[in-house]
Structure 1
Amino acid sequence: MGRKDYIADVADVSSKNLPSIVSVAKGGEDGEVHICYAPPDRDPFNITIMSTDVFSYPSENGYYISTDDSVDLPAGVDGALELIQQSSMGTRIQELLSAISGNLDRHFSMGTRDNPVGLDSDTDIEMGEGEDSENEDENEIFPGYPGYTSNEESSDGETKQDLSPEAAGRLNRRIRADLRAIKRNGLRVGVLDGAKADSVSSLISISTKVDKLGLSEEAIQAWDLEPQQYIILLVRYRGRYQSFEDIISEAAANLNVDYRIGVGKKYKPTLAEALAAFTDSKINDPNFSNAQDSGKQSQAGFSSLFISSSLNEFVNQSLITLVKIRNSVGVGWAGAKSWYNEKQSRMGGPDAAPSESVCNQDALDNQKSLPDMLSCDHFTDHGDEQVSFPLVAAQFTLRYLVRCTEYCLVCHDRIEGDFEALKPYVCNKPLCLYQYMSLGFGPSVEHEILTQPYVVDLLTSFCYAGAMNQRLREYPTGMALLVPQVTIKTSRDGNNGRYYPPNPQDSTSSTVHPKTLTSAMEVKFDAGRQEIIFDGRKYDKSPVKKGDWVVVSTIDRTPTHHRVEDTIQYPCVTLSKEATAFQNPDTNTNVHTPATTPPPQNTIPAYVVSYSENFDDLDPVSKAEIIVDLLKTLPSLKEMRTYLLGQSRSAEPRLRSWNDRISPAALGILRWIVASNRSCIVQVDKCPDQDDTDATMAKIRLDQRIAHIGSSYVQFRFAQGSPDKEQRFLNALKAQQANLNTAYPTIFAWHGSKLENWHSIIRSGLDYKDTLNGRAYGHGVYHARDQNVSLGYSAHGSGIWQGSSLKIASAMSLNEIVNCPTQFASYTPYYVVQHIDWIQCRYLLVQVSAGTGDNDYARDTTASVNENRQDDISQDPQYRATSTLNKTIGIPSCAITTSKRFRDDKDKVLQAKTKLAKLPNILKRKHSQSSGAAPLMDVSDSDEMDDIAFFLSDSETGGSSQSKSLQTPLTDFVPGSLDHSTLPMLDEPSYATPMATKALQRNLKEVLAIQKKTPLHELGWYLDEKLVNNMYQWIVELHSFDPSLPLAKDMKASEVTSIVLEIRFGKDYPHSPPFVRVIRPRFLPFSVGGGGHVTAGGAMCMELLTNSGWSAVSSIESVLLQVRMAMMNLEPKPARLEGKGTINRQYDYQVGEAIEAYKRACLQHGWQIPSDFGQFALTPSAYGTSRGS
């Protein structure tokens, strides 16, 4: 996308007929378009559209929309166009013109608020009609932005009319106070929509960086987060803003407040991204996300966390209830949840005091350490202030997120146990386990495929091999999976089972399972047309319906799985293309490719079996065979990931929407495979067919690989085993603590096993229930120090899942074992460990067939990791593990997360007895970041101007703009008192362009309008319209600074009431930034203790005012506000005047010294100087001397 697409779209729309648009023509400037709009019964007028960034069209491009100032347009037209302009970011030119046409047509047909009918109509109006009959879609500016309504143009008059000015003022003050409380508590606030007394809806974001949550590096990696990302809570009020008191007094069911938790690269998403989070879809525009980077938009804006589904459900359903309980009962969050559970179980009366167990929950909760930012409880620590409900919601959500591993993902009750998992799971209640597996509260399989495709590949391949060889110990029962009824062939030849009554003449040697099939239906099958024809005499109506899944079997054809697409022409039923991905299990990736022309109609006898049998009712042999067959119907992992990436451009990626390719049963099996794996497995090695870009996106930690391992293996690390297994391993270490060598509490050894055993091993751990290879040295789990020994026991097994990219041939693990060899059943020549709780898998090494078709990869025995790392753990010299390269392996310290507290290394790296031992394992407090409550005006450079303005403004009266303008200015600044004869006034430059001139005219009109309706002391800047003789030069005064600032004190002592700025604009404006400099007074230079972002030459030192930081959509109001904020900033040093407040004659800064200082600042910081900046130096009298002041 870019300029070529923009030009093509303009050419395309020029040839089309749009309602009320007479013509569309390309303008003289790049990105400029002129349209002629003809309203009903009025003269046409011209509208000019200017693209703000044609090279980023359409995703990051917006528009300036203006009309000819010489034409007297009806009232409200400019406002309607301005509203469209504000919402134009990311839209294509066709959609923009449709929005202009539709909104102006509606405007002219319905009139304005001041003139509800025709703009010059004298027609009488019957009151009480029409207002409620408006289609709510008419409130939408662009159809792709669901739920977007302009507060100013809303037809919902009730919210605005039932508030008196006094009540509106109180509500405005309360909103601002609530959001300022969030800021003071160290969180970031973004106002996305509304947040005013007259707003019909409001949407705010509350966020904090991941690295401020105190999460350990292991947790950040396991949760697929990055330290610089933001955890974002969106709070939406579907109606007027509700204060804490409103929340408490109103029934929870009547409160229209919604929440969404997610992650983003910025502290707040765009309005469109936030609204999409509440509609479970993105903007209904395939170009909303850049086609070249499908994941970029969601990563930068707002995307789901790995537990968003569970957390969103909990916060939306329970938060207000828990707040009410806390307010009435006087307990903490844990106590409120426990109290709620008691009332649900009808324990105690409605007015009963909290039980001892409720109080114990709070006591237990308070024992757990949290980062300083989350340890505060605004609910009880608000002091004399009123309670801020958004802050309460944010603290609750973030506290739960950080501690999510302590709670059940479904019922959200605390899970008992000393061991703390890296990822949350469910408690032992059967209903919770069912919902975890079936209702999407577990890990999102889509998220795992997108972020860890090779881990999903690994898990699916293990399950397939286990099912193929009847080695599964557990099955996905309780999920209500509907599968086809099948007569099973128990041979392991890899062929699909038969889905029709066996032919008596079939002389196959395979044993047929005795179960009788009763649901097979005789049909005629047309493979070319993908149709089945029922016998209408036998079946009065279609026995299958649209959306059902069926299996079609013939005598001489492999059974195929299809979705029923249409039954309207019954007895002829249309099917989808077959879902069986591979013709022959022995081939690698022979995906079916449809013929270019359909074959001639040729029906053959067949049997059809529908997916109508409950999986739970099958016997274990049938369950395993069904799992094999369903996994065969899945697309490959690459295909599924490609589909999800493409889908993410226009909707939340969901495999269930690929309903003509993946059956619900197959998807259920895949979800079970991912969700039932409670171990946290991460890829730490690059796979053979994985390109560098994909490896970078997957954030593979190559530094966590085992060193000195042959490159024929791909390594995966168990960042943590299953929580219950880790708990037992921890208990074993505790029990043997007196017998442990504190320098080497554990040892490492290899274990090899056939491929079909690993599905169960990674879920329940190693055991010795089955004797597969003899037990010459006793009963136990066999391990070897030499990898070559274990290699013989990980012999190639049968059953490679065809959808795999890895094509795993064999697997072995590196295990951590409690270092008490003398207590083993045997420890020479092999370790035979009879205590299964003494063993924990730490690494999994899989030998792969070349996914790229190059089998040399599997035979390559060169070392892949040979570096001698400093942070590798020390192995017990008596029991060192070696690799096939006959070298001692290097094991990263990250492998001993559980046993590290028992290890006493020489360099004391782990520091188990420090203060940090009091923190949960998942938390690692960063004391250097801990601070008290953040100051209110701790505004980051990345804060957007509308948010800064929200917190800086004291305009809370709720009255009209007229009443504000009549108030007495609370400042010593006197507007219009500046002597223009002392200023370096310029004539209009020769480089002036129509584009820049028109943009500046519009900007000047906007700035003067804001200045007119805002009290002087609140605005903080002043532009004298009389001094604007040249659109390319503005003189602006900054005034009314906080009296406590050193700058304000210096100004008062020097009898200076304003900082005089000159703003110059170049020929490329608004695509290039303005040049902003101080004229007077002179500031103390930074080199001698000054600050305020003012250079020694008077130019402003701000990235915003360079090409590196400038945006074409920035407004002059935002520039003035940010310049004023920079001067008020006390870090690193406060701004001071030269002489620090003494009354002496000062000379103005000259333009020449400002230009040179600006260039020096850009070079020092690496900022890009605008290409048209040199023209400022060529402006007549640019280096002239202005008078002293």
Structure 2
Amino acid sequence: MTRKHFLADVKEASEKGIPNVISISRGDDDGDVNFCFLHDSTEPIEIGLLALDVSEYPSGNNFMIFTKSEGAPKAVNEALERLMTSSTGARLPDLISSISTKLQMLLSTGSRKSPISLDEEDEDDEMEDAEEDESEDEGEDDSGFSDEEEEDFPDEPIAFLNGNAVSIPTSRLTSKAAAQLNRRIRADLRTIRLLGHRIGIISGMKAESHSGILSISIQATKLGLSEEAMQAWDIEPHQYLTLLIRYSDGYKTYEALIAEPAKNSGIDFRVGVCNSYKPSVAAAFSAFSDSNKVGDKASNNDGSDLQERNGGFFNIFISSSLNEFINTKMISMLKIRHATGLGWENAKKFLDEREGRPLEENADLYSDNDYSDKDTIKGHTSQFSANDHLTDNESGSFSFPLLAAQFALMYLVRCTEFCLVCHDKITGGFEALKPYVCEKPLCLYQYMSLGFGPSVEHEIETQPYIVDLLLNFCYASASGARIREYPTGMSLSVPSAVVGLAGYIVPQDFAPAPAVVAKPINDRRDREFKVKYNSEACEFTFEEMPEILNPPVRRGDWVRILLGPGPDTVVQALHSRVEDVTLMPIVKLSQPILPKPQSSTYQIPVTGHTPTDKPTNMIAARMSIYNRNFDEMSPLEKCNTIVMLLETLPTIQELREYIDRQSRTEEPNLRKWTERISPAALGLLRWVIASNRSCLVQVDKCPGQIDSVLADAKIRPDQKVSQIGENWMQFRFAQGSPDKEERFLNALKEQQASLDPKYPTIFAFHGSGLQNWHSIIRHGLDFKETLNGRAYGHGVYHAQDQTISCQYSNVRSLLGSWPGSQLKILAVMSINEIINCPKQFVSSNPFLVVQHIDWIQCRYLLVQIEGQVIPTPASTREIQSEIEQDPKYTARASNKKPIGVPYCAASVSRAFRNDDIGSSSPCKKLKGISSLNGTEYVSEAEDIEDIKFLVSDDEDEVGILSSGSKNLEASKTDFVPGSLDQSKLPMLGPPAYATPSATMRLNRELKAILKVQNSTPLHELGWYINENLVDNIYQWIIELHSFESTLPLAKDLKESGQNSVVIEIRFGKEFPHSPPFVRVVKPRFLPFMSGGGGHVTAGGALCMELLTNSGWSAVSSIESVLLQVRLALMSMDPKPARLESKSPQHQGEYGTQEAMAAFIRACNMHGWEIPKDFQDFAAPGPGQF
């Protein structure tokens, strides 16, 4: 049979209606088929089939079978691998039916009681255990699951991005078991909220839910990150770092996860940021699914841009690495911690050493190894990044979602301490701003090649001009043969190097010694094919008929077409992707890419021919396939190939436009731009970005950069060096390469005795040709080669007059700037910080010639570009203070005035000057919240539905559980109900403004809240209302108690001999349409201006938007109000609540009038609307205060 029969079988399979299979379709490559498998026990699984020899289908063909779904169970992957061995000669419809049958049998053997083991156990044992489970009785088990009850819950649909849904039946639970699980879910989520995290219920999250998604977030300002770190990580202070947790097989408690195999948890995680405390439902579902994963891609975007921004879930620079780590390792590490008591770091070490052996077989391994070192938290000012629920919790009941959030937060905040690939601890003295990999070669390969490094799409989207700068440097360096390191080890497949085409050969004058000569043309003739190229049809025809059974090209290959009359003459080079080979010897191509190198000072003659933009039809040409390993090329060939690949890339503007279009419907991925970017060019682009470990910040507006995108570009005009002319665009090194920074800091320490403590460093200019900057920004300045003479000795030359350095920076590269550049760079110079020991320099007059390269660190790049740099609009940020320069060595701009260097540019040396020299290296990554220039970012109000989810169970569940209320867990609190002295309380009579509607609503609220109180242990509830004290339904006296013992407030209460905080709630005549007035009665709290917190004003009123017209909702229950008030008192942000006095004899009370005055002040300060009937609270009834 032929390819025609293969395509016919694809159609037959798609129309056959195979059980559990949908969306059978062809893929991008020839012989590629995709389909989706559905089963009740798991999320939809996308499966790919690749026919390895379509021309021999079916008898001589076999298939590669694999899953494309990230969360596919391991057992599924292993089953598909076994099926590959029997796929030889199989017809496609039969093979898909066989796969469906096998997976149906495999996944149907599991249950929530005894799931398929997907951990380290043998597959055969898994199947045997599963078969035993099938034969067991089907009655109710100990977990409360029942197969007999018919009253259960309706099936839940799984929503897909295209709006379609697949109904999946839920697990069956008894009513009592469901009520208990719902109660546990709420308890777990309350624990999260009480510790300061925000929770968002995206979907499900109930006992009857087969699947659900939960978001846990915290505002970035609460993590104590410095401005430099936030800018390097592209995180805004107002954004929320968010962990999404998806439960695919119902909610799992901590105990259930510990008891079952780690890889059968049915839980997936995603880490990112949101502009809101939780993403929209669509964004959350999209985070767990690839575009077009099931069903069709969304065809339109009916939401506004504002809604998309506020409800979106966005990946950050470390999302790929952290998602892989938390999804594959976290639960296993948690099981190890549970069994051994180790911390996260040592659990990771233990997991690596056990090498897949069952935990019980590693007892000797644990005892023989030293795990005594505790996890280290270096310089972290935020308690959130140091909290550990597993060790801090004293109740013995653990919240798994909280543990997952703490794990993600710890590794995110401390990401620079760990390898991005293997996640082992990295040793080093200086802490980088951006994470990197350890010294293992495999980690470096995965970082560069497999997407564990910086997201190319993210960097282009957020820092396009810095990417532009890096590509210009690489292009100039390669074209001048000045590049020192190559993208080796990435297995880039490229065409053979070309000699004789402008832009593809470097003259010997520019080559490093010893000169490398390109290979003779004859050595590559076996890599080329003579073809006839048709420009109008975008196709070529082999002059000699190739072997049909072994064609030289396949669909998806990239080829280069050299147009020219002879083997030694080339007019033009085209690059295309092979689209169709079924009409051999005719090969269909994608739209060709025509590299257009810049005009250069060195012209290579092409005798008798001139380039043409529109070649005539059917031109004689030579075709080369992208099949040569880049690593095997000579240095000169590598330089030529780098230039060629960079010239085939789209422009920065085109890249941004494509990413912007793609991001509207899916996660941006340049790999999908298959017809425009070759894998080799994309790999090179990734290498250029990932190999740069310097953190560059744009501080100037670029020509053509519109005002609407300035905020997204993260421009920092407050960090500009003053007095520099507007014809120079500025970029600041927020941090140089970490190893270079560390050497610079060590050199400062070594020269401490020789330094002037007021001027430990000086500043000077260095000019160099464009082709040198690719290496300079990666490795720093050196003087290995002599380019401009050395009249004043060997060393790195600096001038303190910018005009002098300009003369050395105008050395143009061979080919000019990169053709896709928007900057069009003409010249580059740097402002360097140098250790101030001029007497030890080789020369200090007229130039500073520094022979110690570790004494030099680049702090600013000044880039001269085509066109005038647009003056950057005035910044809303406060202008930073400038460093006082040494009067003897003052750097001056072209206007002869001293330059003004912002303090941020020399934070390392100035911190060195001010701090103890024996202390650890300055940590630029973590600072207090004050590092954000004092800007206050108000947290977003929470959705009422999320608050209601945390409060009491549904009435039916309360009824079920209250039947056993006599057996409720004994109270774990020192609070004694009913001990409050009524005579000392401001008890009021019924108010004159009472209305029937408000009275009826309040009676219902009181009844509901007492019901909850009677069915919940005191220590879990955290509040108490004595119904005997409710003589006036418009005034409630409530005690808040049982605070977490580690809180400063709990310690103060204990020391002062008190066990509760007494609050008063007064209701107005407009309730529930108007909020109640909530204030603290006693004890008095430390005011905010004196270091207090807890959202308690100086007069005792609660400072919460919820309690104003701006934040109140008529559907809010009093129980939810109490929960949020208690959370506010327990909040550690920005400061924890403390008592004004810890002495039992000096515990004062707040008055009503001072509380009302403080409430009005707080509303005016924050811009909140004061309730219209607020003044009624001052005179609730005749004769009352």
- Give the structure-2-normalised TM-score: 0.67
Q: Say if 2:267 is the partner of 1:269.
A: no
SS in 1 for 2:741: helix
Matched letter for residue 638 of structure 2: K
Report the counterpart of residue 111 of structure 2 in structure 1.
none
Kept in 1: contact 2:573–2:595 (CA 8 A) = no
Tell me the distance in 1 between the aligned counterparts of 2:286 and 2:660: 17
- 2:276 match: secondary structure: coil
- Counterpart among 328, 344, 355 of residue 355 in structure 2: 344
CA contact (8 A) 1:485 1:517 kept: no
Find the residue that maps to 2:199 and give its secondary structure. Answer: strand
Q: Give the structure 1 partner of residue 222 of structure 2.
A: 212
Distance change (3 Å), C-alpha of 1:424 and 1:1123: closer
Match for residue 753 of structure 2 among 714, 726, 738: 738
Q: 1:720 aligns with which of 711, 732, 735?
A: 735
Using the TM superposition, name which of 247-256 and 457-466 deviates more: 247-256
Q: Which residue identity lines up with residue 522 of structure 1 in the other structure?
A: K
Checking the alignment, whether the CA contact within 8 Å between 2:694 and 2:736 is kept in structure 1 is yes
Q: 2:694 aligns to what?
A: 679
1:953 is aligned to 952
- Which of 826, 846, 853 is matched with 1:836 structurally? 853
CA apart distance, 1:187? 2.0
User: 1:160 is matched by which residue type in structure 2?
Assistant: R
Alpha-carbon separation, structure 1, partners of 2:1040 and 2:878 = 58
Unpaired runs of at least 5, structure 2 = 1-137, 139-146, 149-153, 508-516, 566-570, 602-612, 933-937, 967-976, 979-988, 1017-1031, 1042-1062, 1088-1093, 1097-1101, 1130-1136, 1140-1155, 1174-1179
Q: What displacement does 1:739 show? A: 1.6
Maintained 8 Å contact 1:172/1:956: no
Distance 1:1133 1:1125, change over 3 A: farther
Structure 1 counterpart of 2:298: 285
Instruction: Pick closer, same or farther for the CA change 1:1162–1:790 going to 2, 3 Å.
Output: closer
**Cα deviation code 1:690-747 (max 9, x no counterpart):** 1222222212111111111011111111111111111111221122122222111111
Aligned partners of 1:742 and 1:902 also within 8 Å: no
1:196 to 184, 191, 206: 206
Residue of structure 1 equivalent to 2:716? 701
Distance change >3 Å, CA 891–CA 385, structure 1 → 2: same
Instruction: Note the alpha carbon deviations across 1:77-118, whole angstroms, 9 max, x for none.
Output: xxxxxxxxxxxxxxxxxxxxxxxxxxxxxxxxxxxxxxxxxx
CA distance in 1, matches of 2:921, 2:518: 62
Q: TM-score under structure 1 normalisation?
A: 0.67
**Superimposed CA distance per residue, residues 562-613 of structure 1 (whole angstroms, 9 cap, x where no aligned partner):** 11122233332221111236487579xxxxxxxxxx9999322222211111
Question: Aligned AA for 1:579?
Answer: I
Whichever residue aligns with residue 723 of structure 1, its letter is P
- 1:549 is aligned to 558
**Corresponding residue for 1:912?**
915
Distance 1:985 1:564 in 2: 79
**Partner of residue 323 from structure 1, selected from 334, 348, 365:** 334
**Distance apart, 1:785 and its partner CA:** 1.1
Q: Tell me if structure 1 keeps the 8 A contact 2:277–2:940.
A: no
Contact 1:405 / 1:420 at 8 angstroms: preserved in 2?
A: yes
The residue identity in structure 1 corresponding to 2:902 is P
Task: Note closer, same or farther for the CA distance 1:145–1:678 as it changes in structure 2 (3 Å cut).
Answer: same
Q: Describe how 1:929-948 pairs up with structure 2 within 5 A.
A: 942-948=941-947
Q: Is the 8 A contact 2:276 2:940 kept in 1?
A: no
Residues 653 and 1078 (structure 1), Cα distance of their counterparts in 2 relative to 1, 3 Å cut = closer
2-structure distance, mates of 1:1014, 1:545: 74
Q: Percent identity among equivalent residues?
A: 46
Distance 1:246 1:1079, change over 3 A: closer
**In the alignment, which of 914, 923, 928 is matched to residue 926 of structure 2?**
923
**CA distance in structure 2 between the partners assigned to 1:1079 and 1:481 by the alignment:** 68
**1:182 partnered with 2:197:** no
Cα deviation per residue 1:221-245 (whole Å; 9 max; x = unaligned)? 1111122211111122211222222
Q: Tell me the equivalent position of 1:609.
A: 624
* Residue of structure 2 equivalent to 1:173: 183
Q: Which one-letter code corresponds to 2:555 in the other structure?
A: K
Residue 446, structure 1, aligned to residue 457, structure 2:
yes
Task: Note closer, same or farther for the CA distance 1:242–1:836 as it changes in structure 2 (3 Å cut).
Answer: same
Q: How does 1:301-450 map to 2 (within 5 A)?
A: 301-344=312-355, 350-352=362-364, 354=366, 358-359=370-371, 362-363=373-374, 365=376, 369=380, 371-450=382-461
- The Cα shift of 1:877 comes to 1.4
Instruction: Report the CA distance between 1:814 and its aligned residue.
Output: 0.9
SS in 1 for 2:525: coil
Structure 2 SS opposite 1:176: helix
* Secondary structure, counterpart of 2:376 in structure 1: helix
- What letter is aligned with 2:1115? E
Report how many residues are paired: 909
Of the three residues 251, 265, 273, the one matched with 1:241 is 251
Cα offset, 1:626, TM superposition: 1.0
Q: 1:237 to 1:139 in 2, by over 3 A?
A: closer
2:537 match: secondary structure: coil
Q: Secondary structure at the match of 1:624?
A: helix
The residue aligned with 1:21 is none
Q: CA deviation at 1:429?
A: 1.1
Deviations along 1:233-269, one digit per CA (max 9) or x if unpaired, are: 1122211222222222211122112111111122221
- Alignment match of 2:231 (pick from 221, 225, 233): 221
Assess, with a 3 A threshold, how the Cα gap between structure 1 residues 1117 and 803 changes in structure 2: closer, same or farther.
same
Q: Which residue of 1 aligns with 2:270?
A: 260
1:661 partner SS: coil
Task: Report if aligned partners of 1:563, 1:576 keep a CA contact under 8 Å in 2.
Answer: yes
Equivalent position SS for 1:192: strand
The corresponding residue for 1:1028 is none
Looking at structure 1, the residues matched to 1128 and 401 of structure 2 have their Cα atoms a distance apart, in angstroms, of 29
| AA matched with 1:923 | L
Alpha-carbon distance in structure 2 between the residues aligned to 1:470 and 1:837: 25
Structure 1: 5+ residue stretches without partners: 1-126, 132-136, 499-508, 588-597, 851-855, 904-910, 930-938, 973-977, 987-1003, 1021-1035, 1046-1055, 1065-1073, 1095-1099, 1135-1153, 1175-1184
Give the Cα–Cα distance (whole angstroms) in 1 for the partners of residues 722 and 1077 of structure 2: 64
1:750 partner SS: strand
- Aligned-partner SS, 1:832: strand
Alpha-carbon distance, 1:481 to partner: 0.9
Aligned position for 1:232: 242
Q: Distance in 2 between matches of 1:1123 and 1:804?
A: 56
User: What is the deviation of 1:551?
Assistant: 1.1
Q: For residues 330 and 868 of structure 1, what CA distance do their matches in structure 2 show?
A: 48
Instruction: Tell me how far apart the structure 2 counterparts of residues 927 and 702 of structure 1 sit (CA, whole Å).
Output: 20
Shift of 1:1122: 6.3
Deviations 1:1074-1130, CA, capped at 9 Å, x for gaps: 95378999x99x9xx9xx999xxxxx99977999668xxx7x534777677789898
RMSD: 5.4
1:612-646 deviations in whole A, cap 9, x for unaligned?
11111111111111111111111110111111111
Partner of 1:351, secondary structure, is helix
CA distance in 1, matches of 2:1064, 2:460: 62
The alpha carbon displacement at 1:1160 in A equals 13
Instruction: Specify whether residues 738 and 363 from structure 1 end up closer, same or farther in structure 2 by C-alpha distance, changes over 3 A only.
Output: farther
Q: Any conservation in 2 of the 1:682–1:719 contact (CA below 8 Å)?
A: yes
In the alignment, is the contact (CA less than 8 A) between 2:280 and 2:311 conserved in 1?
Answer: no
Partner Cα distance (1:928, 1:510) in 2: 55
- The residue identity in structure 1 corresponding to 2:941 is S
Name the counterpart of 1:487: 498
Distance 1:332 1:1101 in 2: 38
Measured after TM superposition, the shift of residue 321 of structure 1 is: 1.7
2:533 and 2:1006 map into 1 onto residues whose CA distance is 73
2:792 corresponds to: 777
SS at match of 2:711: helix
- CA shift at 1:467, angstroms? 0.9
* Whole-angstrom CA distance in 1 between matches of 2:305 and 2:768: 43
1:1061 is displaced (CA, Å) by 6.2
Which one of 831, 835, 840 corresponds to residue 814 of structure 1?
Answer: 831
